[in-house]
Structure 1
């Protein structure tokens, strides 16, 4: 059944707006070429979108031609403003942007949970207020159209709200309500931080060429995000990817419903990585897990084979004429641990690609990713490419901005029924 004229117009308008979002200002001729629409149809949609206040003339093309140069059309960036937040256990980061994603203000503050819920919420809210002011928006925040928030824990797929999860600060849930109260005209949405990181990697990072992949978040805690056929999978309760609870060999016990310390988390969480580095004599005391993985103060980033594997598996068979460094042996042992969880995910989902994210994944870079992929090749018959994140810890904030922009555009770009 063919689409109605109004539906066809809405589809064409959204296509044109998406192209302008992705590629920047375009001429009507360029829109015609990229959309495959006829010249009259493009002329109509340009007029319609201009009258709606969604696009405007932002300049002229530099083409030499008879008569005036072709007009360049671009999205009206100040039609709406967006905010994105990355809410961690002990810190909050924020950025404010216009509708095309140009960052106008950003900032971050530590939050001390021991100070109490009210103090934590107030400190985070004040950070957002300062960023809104620095972006040049009205003090009441009325120009703020959409706010995207990334936070650890489960997000109820039915209500879109953070669930009361064990081990997570109670002020996280209160913050969402406080921001909605402080900015009543803004559309406030919250999403699991790892899911947002995966969306950012899919749009702008290591998984841009993949419709199906898994992001393994490696930081203070661990988690996974699953993207299948281009869509994020959340699960019946919003818990897809709670890989920290995965029972694995090499731990001292089993996880419980309220404590993942007996699961995969106890192998690859930041505290476990720091302890593993200490066993190999890598890095200074007090260094972060990410800096230890990156090889700060290591004499070299050698890839030599160590005599034994941390989990008892056979060492990498590739020849290595140079003796391995302590850092190389540490990375080998870490790769053994990471591969245990990755192998379980691959056996169930067969994603073809796993991105190592968080702070640890990009810190290890290709050196860690290559090791994990080699071990995975010996553990699983399913071909899987392992890549290091290109966005790292910044992926959560970027993902929050992208989802906020999508939500705003879905509303603002909805063509009127004409």
Structure 2
């Protein structure tokens, strides 16, 4: 059954708006090329979207062009405002942007572990309010919170997890409806994968796995361009993966004895100590949050000569075990090493892991270091908020 004229208009409008969001200002002629629509149809939708306050003329394509097609049309960026939060155990970072994702203000807040749940939530919400006031924004269309832990795919809520601060869950609840915002929450590793696919190391792969190596370990699975969360939100809980080289097996409540026991921050720090790598103290990252001792150890290893080389080799042996399990089950073709430890190891660690993985698995798997590093979670949260706002602001066919 053919679409009604009204439905066809809505579909065409949405198609044009999507191109403008992803590619920036475009001429009517370029919109015609991208959408495959006729010149009169494009002219009609440009007039309609301009009248609706969704797009406007933002410039011209060049002095050699003449007529209406030389005009550049762009989205009205201030039509909606977004916020993205990267929430960790020791604090948070946030950014406020317009609909196009242009940063308007950023802020960071360290939170002492001894601070109670209610004061921690109050400080986080106050920081958001102060940041919005700084740029004169009163309402938010969408907010995305990236946090460690499992997110229930049925309810969209962050699950209560042993070892994670209680203020994480309370913060998500406190933000619901705050400043009129719609709030989404997603696991930090999943958001890092979203960012690496759009702007980072996996731009050329529709299927890949991101291994998060930080305080804990985890994985994000992207298959055929879709992020896979699993029925209970636990896809990628690779810390519980039983592996050799451990003295016990993990349980339903404890990942000790699993891959976490080989590649988690504490295990990597202990490995460095055994190799004589000097790790004096964990340093603060760019957001003022404490870097895992594992990342500090990896950085120190690059200055430790032979001992550092041996440490990196053994660390690569360990990481390759997790990567080999992932490759055997999913055959992703690409594994991205992310998280603080993956970022610290960079290309040197990725090359070592890739060499060992090739010896363990018959499946060809490219191992790459993160390209976005510490910005990956916040970038992924912003992309998710932007996608949600697009669905709310742009016309939809009924």
Q: TM-score range by the shorter chain?
A: over 0.9
Calculate the TM-score normalised by the size of structure 1: 0.89
TM-score (norm 2): 0.93
For the residue of structure 2 that corresponds to 1:241, the secondary structure is coil
Q: Which moved more, 1:238-247 or 1:56-65?
A: 56-65
- In structure 1, the partner of 2:251 is 256
Equivalents in 1 of 2:68, 2:32: separation in Å?
Answer: 19
Partner SS state of residue 95, structure 2: strand
- Paired residues, number: 388
Q: Which residue of structure 2 aligns with residue 104 of structure 1?
A: 104
Residue of structure 2 aligned with 1:294, choices 291, 294, 299: 299
Calculate the aligned-residue CA RMSD, in Å. 1.8
2:224 aligned with 1:229, yes or no?
Answer: yes
Corresponding residue for 1:334? Answer: 315
Summarize deviations over 1:140-193 as a string: whole Å, max 9, x none.
xxx21110001111111111111122222221111111122543x110111111
Unaligned runs of 5+ in 1: 301-324
Return the offset for 1:295.
4.2
Out of 373, 382, 391, the position equivalent to 2:354 is: 373
- Which one of the candidate residues 357, 363, 374 is aligned to 1:382? 363
Contact preservation (8 Å) 1:62, 1:69: no
Match of 2:288 in 1: none
**C-alpha separation in 1, matches of 2:124 and 2:301:** 32
1:84 deviates by: 0.4
| Alpha-carbon distance in 2 for matches of 1:228, 1:278 | 38
Contact 1:283 1:297 in 2 (8 A): no
Query: Partner residue of 1:166?
Result: 162
Q: What SS is found at the alignment partner of 1:114?
A: coil
Quote the residue 2:287 is aligned against: none
**Are the structure 2 counterparts of residues 261 and 393 from structure 1 closer, same or farther at C-alpha, using a change threshold of 3 Å?**
farther
Find the counterpart in structure 2 of residue 278 from structure 1: 273
Secondary structure of 1:188's match?
Answer: strand
Residue 296 of structure 1 deviates from its aligned partner by 6.6
Deviations 1:355-408 (A, max 9, x none): 111111122111111111111111111111111110122111111111000000
Aligned residue in 2 for 1:315: none
Distance 1:272 1:110, change over 3 A: same
Residue aligned with 2:338, SS: strand
Aligned residue in 1 for 2:209: 214
Aligned to 1:189: 184
Q: Measured at CA, do residues 14 and 182 of structure 1 come closer, stay the same or move farther in structure 2, by a change above 3 Å?
A: closer
Matched, 1:401 2:379: no
The structure-2 alpha-carbon separation of the partners of 1:107 and 1:296, relative to structure 1 and needing over 3 Å to count, comes to: farther
CA contact (8 A) 2:177 2:183 kept: no
State the secondary structure of the residue aligned to 2:48.
Answer: helix
How far residue 74 of structure 1 moved from its aligned partner, in angstroms, is 0.3
Closer, same or farther: CA 170–67 of 1 in aligned 2, 3 Å: closer
Q: Say whether 1:70 aligns with 2:75.
A: no
Q: Give 1:210 shift.
A: 0.7
1:106, 1:254 → 2: CA distance?
43
Structure 1 residue 297, shift from structure 2 partner: 6.6
Whether 1:130 aligns to 2:130 is yes
Which residues of structure 2 form unaligned runs of 5+? 283-292
Cα separation, 2, equivalents of 1:386 and 1:8: 44
**Contact 2:277-2:304 at 8 Å conserved across structures:** no
- In 1, distance between residues paired with 2:383 and 2:177? 23
Deviation at 1:132, TM superposition (A): 1.2
